[in-house]
Amino acid sequence: MSTPVPQNKVVQWIEYRLPVFSWAIAHGVDYPAPRNLNYWWTFGSMAMIMLVAQIVTGVLLSMHYTAHVDHAFDSVEHIMRDVEWGWLLRYAHANGASMFFVVVYVHIFRALYYGSYKAPREILWWFGIMLLLLMMATAFLGYVLPWGQMSFWGATVITNLFSAIPWIGGDLVVWLWGGFSVDNPTLNRFFSLHYLLPFVMCGMVFLHLWALHHRKSNNPLGIDIKSPKDTMPFSPYCTTKDLFTGTVMLFVLFVFVFYLPNTLGEAVNYEKANPLQTPAHIVPEWYFLPFYAILRSVPDKLGGVIAMAAAILILFVLPWLDTSKVRSARFRPIYKQLFWVFLADCVVLGWIGAMPAEGVYIVIGRICTIYYFAHFILIMPLLGRFEKTLPLPESIHQSILDKSLKSKTGNIS
């Protein structure tokens, strides 16, 4: 069943030369999505909304921003005070970054729960991790631009991570800075890259979706699509659902934008960068806290950097570390429990990342770091071998019929 391209003459004229309409219909309307997709499958489109929102607000902000150490802080305040709706633009962009991370993290944990990274979706998963890395880089670069105290010292600390690399580290950092400390050349290149990377992300999103549409979406049962009965057309079913959850997401975002605009930020970033004085507590934005905790848990400069990088890079090999034949945690009773333990582990790491590195926090941080890696290196390979999985349903359609039958008989009794 495919939706026809409209018979309109102009549409046909274009279609003959470049089949954009049939392409859009094939991927935006007729794309067969599994019938049983739940709410967790709407976070991908929310992430897309956020990417677009960040680019739109970002481009408009850049029209008023000045990437120079003498003017950056003032130009941000100029946006907040003098530019029409400038305060809305900036608060939406700053809080939008957080919202973007929220939906992307949910998106990732959904993939972990339902085994979406497993064959044949490994490349789709890789593009996803690359998107996460690009997003982190963009967020970090963007946080430097207001040139407040935390901007400056965050930039200093994070760029100094590279100095841990043996032999070339020192030179590499000087090259990154374009000087002997974080200064005007650094700010300029950070602005340039902060503007560039979101468009690289757009390209990566295209690849991510290409891979998705080639091998089709995973679903809560984790079984393959076997017949057209298992699927529904993307539009109107997914579009209406995504419209609803997207609106709810915007509601949450705007609660922060309008009523808690600085709650997620650092107060000290409203102080202009001062290269002579480090703030009392250096804390990254909340979305980096788990990784920051891992960095600090290793009592060695190079080791910490390696651990932090490995925490993300290990995701690339997850499809092979996970040896289970079954995708969805629904049919993996032990993994289902351990998934929540792993999620809790990440949340605790986030909390530790916000705490000063002293006393009991260091101990908790180390235990959680060890568990984080153990989850991937030990638990995932072993669990796949020894776990007794539950029987898988025959098909997506059959499981829906069974469920509605059960609810009917339930009603009668």
Partner 1 sequence: MADLPPQNEQSSAAEEEGTRRDFLILAAGAMGALGAVGVVWPLVQTMNPSADVLALASTEVDLSGISEGQAISVMWRGKPVFIRHRTPGEIDEARAVPLDDLSDPETDEVRAKDGKWLILVGVCTHLGCIPLGNKFGDPKGDYGGWFCPCHGSHYDTSGRIRKGPAPTNLEIPEYEFLDETLVKIG
Partner 2 sequence: MLKYVISFFASITLVFFITNKLYAAGDAPKPPNIDWHQEGIFGTYDKAALIRGFQVFQEVCASCHSLNFIAFRNLLEIGFSPEEVKLIAAEYEVEDGPDDEGEMFMRSARPSDYWPAPFANDKAARAANGGAMPPDLSLITKSKVAGSDYLYALLTGYRDEPPEGFELSDGMYYNDYYPGHQIAMPQPIYEESVEYIDGTEATIEQLSKDVTQFLAWTAEPKLEERKRTGLKVLIFLAIFAALAFVIYKRTWKRLKIKDTEE
Q: Which residues bind partner 2 (CB under 8 A)?
A: 35, 38-39, 74, 77, 80-81, 87-88, 91, 102, 106, 232, 236-237, 240-241, 243-245, 247-248, 250-252, 254-255, 257-259, 261-264, 266-271, 280-281, 283, 286, 289, 347, 350-351, 354-355, 400-401, 404
Residue 231 has φ and ψ, to the nearest 5°, of: -120, 170
Comparison of 180 and 259: residue with beta carbon closer to partner 2 = 259
Residue type, 66: T
In the complex, minimum distance from the CB of residue 90 to partner 1, in angstroms, rounded to a whole number: 10
In the complex, minimum distance from the CB of residue 363 to partner 1, in angstroms, rounded to a whole number: 48
Comparison of 13 and 251: residue with beta carbon closer to partner 2 = 251
Answer with the entry of partner 2, partner 1, none that 63 interacts with (C-beta below 5 to 8 A by kind). Answer: partner 1
Comparison of 286 and 339: residue with beta carbon closer to partner 2 = 286
Calpha distance 232→36 (Å, rounded): 9
Residues recognised as catalytic: 213, 217, 241-242, 285
> How many CA atoms does the CB half-sphere of 152 hold within 13 Å?
23
Contacts 24+ apart (CB under 8 A), 246-254: 246/42, 246/45, 246/46, 246/49, 249/46, 249/49, 249/50, 249/99, 249/103, 250/49, 252/99, 253/92, 253/95, 253/96, 253/99
In the complex, minimum distance from the CB of residue 86 to partner 1, in angstroms, rounded to a whole number: 6
Answer with the entry of partner 2, partner 1, none that 60 interacts with (C-beta below 5 to 8 A by kind). Answer: partner 1
Cα separation values, 171 from 45, 157, 184, Å: 41, 16, 18
Answer with the entry of partner 1, partner 2, none that 366 interacts with (C-beta below 5 to 8 A by kind). Answer: none
Comparison of 137 and 283: residue with beta carbon closer to partner 2 = 283
Interacting residue ranges for partner 1, rule: CB under 8 A: 56-57, 60, 63-64, 78, 81-86, 88-89
Answer with the entry of partner 2, partner 1, none that 109 interacts with (C-beta below 5 to 8 A by kind). Answer: none
In the complex, minimum distance from the CB of residue 77 to partner 1, in angstroms, rounded to a whole number: 11
Calpha distance 180→183 (Å, rounded): 8
In the complex, minimum distance from the CB of residue 108 to partner 2, in angstroms, rounded to a whole number: 14
Dihedral over alpha carbons 302, 308, 310, 314 (to 10 degrees): 170
Answer with the entry of partner 1, partner 2, none that 20 interacts with (C-beta below 5 to 8 A by kind). Answer: none
Calpha distance 48→42 (Å, rounded): 10
Dihedral over alpha carbons 152, 90, 192, 249 (to 10 degrees): 110
Residue type, 53: A
